[in-house]
Structure 1
């Protein structure tokens, strides 16, 4: 393996584990990144004008795609599914922050993870 392969693995771990952390470990904990004044993920979706059920659908998709991205460390054919899928959902996050006129810093994690996913895509195609 080349050094770039190790960097890509590290990026996949950072993105995948971070998404899992947000959706499985900290969904009910307040963070400075939540939209509006929301304290939980469900409240954040309400701020965006989205339903609790939609929150669960997005959560399922993000967790699934994060797991796919992590699995792509061993199974290369999953690279694009995980990276592109997460990038699309993260773009949706940025759009929602803009919609509710959040300060730009609240979009930073989504923007950073899109950039990391684009790097993964670039070096795995």
Structure 2
């Protein structure tokens, strides 16, 4: 993959990790339904509490696989595809 492709792949993975690890409980005005943080947003939309943890774990694992995919190319397409499916659900 090209330098630009690797940079975009890494940036996407780090963005997801930032949201789900560092900022998941921080207040922001960019949440739907008047929610102030990520757990509240899941509550606002009526998802069971387990859904928050399941989606979060999946996104963290897939983001880490995208990073590993910088060295193991075969991981990139499935990881990116599953992340895309999760984002469509969002």
Equivalence map 1:68-107=2 (5 Å)? 68-93=65-90
CA displacement, residues 9-68 of structure 1 (integer Å, 9 cap, x when unaligned): 111111100000000000111223211111121100011110111100000000000001
Structure 2, unaligned runs of 5 or more:
none
Residue 48 of structure 2 is matched in structure 1 by 51
| Counterpart selection for 2:60 from 38, 63, 67 | 63
Question: What residue number does 2:9 align with?
Answer: 12
CA distance in structure 2 between the aligned counterparts of 1:70 and 1:39, rounded to whole angstroms: 29
Size of the aligned set, in residue pairs, is: 90
What is the 5 A alignment of 1:6-45? 6-45=3-42
Cα deviation, residue 88, structure 1: 0.5
**In the alignment, is the contact (CA less than 8 A) between 1:28 and 1:41 conserved in 2?**
yes
Let me know the Cα RMSD of the aligned residues: 1.1
Q: Give the alignment's TM-score, normalised by structure 1.
A: 0.69
CA contact (8 A) 1:68 1:81 kept: no
